[in-house]
Amino acid sequence: MAVGSDDLAGIRERFLARLDAVGNVTLVARELGVNRSTAFGWARKAGRSSVRLSRRHPGRDEYERLRAAGVTRRVAAWRVGVNERTAKDWDWGVKKTATRRTYADGRRVDYATGTVTMSGVTTPSVGLSALEKQLHPRFLTLAERERIRDLRAAGQSMRAIGRALGRPASTVKREIDANSGREDYQPYAAHRKAAARRPRPKDRKVLREGHLRRFVQDRLRRRWSPEQICHV
């Protein structure tokens, strides 16, 4: 059945009024049974824009309240009914799509290409298994790095932070000096760099261009034995 011009004008007015309340063109068009292209045309001519619908999990506010109250990640995740991996992403400020994870420090992991992009520079991905691997106690964990950030933001001294972590103040100072950017200490970037340094086996130093390689090549040309070279 054809829709008269008066009826169409009425639907348009209803659409615009509803759009002001809801904000999303697609949602209002579906609600009123209006063609999506027509709906966007109406919105554009009326100077309205469409806002993206929030995909925030309905339990996230409660999860964050529980975490702020000191509840462990595992228990808080169980109470709101989400997987612990999802809860970890919330704690880390991770935003996810089907093929990407974007971290709070600006790092973007693209699983489709297997790369990590940071500040416009793309490097091979170190993988989530490397980031989350259980390490020897002498290595800083992500939780410790997060605590360093929080205590430093609270104005604690290097010694106080060290006491809180059970670490020497010198360890805390080296960590902060090595991983502080324009926005102060960055725990997620620090953990990523540490994970990238861990893989074994590493390339032997003699395979890299530099003084050591040139020294070995020179001595081999002089017919020195490997034993003679390594004992120089």
Strands 121-124 and 115-118: antiparallel
Q: What is the pLDDT of residues 83-98, one digit of tens each?
A: 887 888 888 777 777 6
> What is the average pLDDT across 154-173?
90
Q: What's the confidence (pLDDT) of residue 159?
A: 92
CA gap 107, 122 in Å, rounded: 10
pTM of the model: 0.35
Q: What is the pLDDT of residues 47-72, one digit of tens each?
A: 887 776 656 777 888 888 888 888 88
Question: Which comes out higher in pLDDT, residue 110 or 173?
Answer: 173
Which region among 125-129, 132-136, 145-149 has the lowest average model confidence (pLDDT)? 125-129
In a 10 Å sphere around its CB, with 0-12 CB exposed, 13-18 middle and 19+ buried, how is residue 216 labelled? middle
CA gap 109, 92 in Å, rounded: 14
Q: What's the confidence (pLDDT) of residue 191?
A: 77
CA gap 79, 67 in Å, rounded: 11
Residue 168's CB is within 10 A of a number of other CB atoms, namely: 13
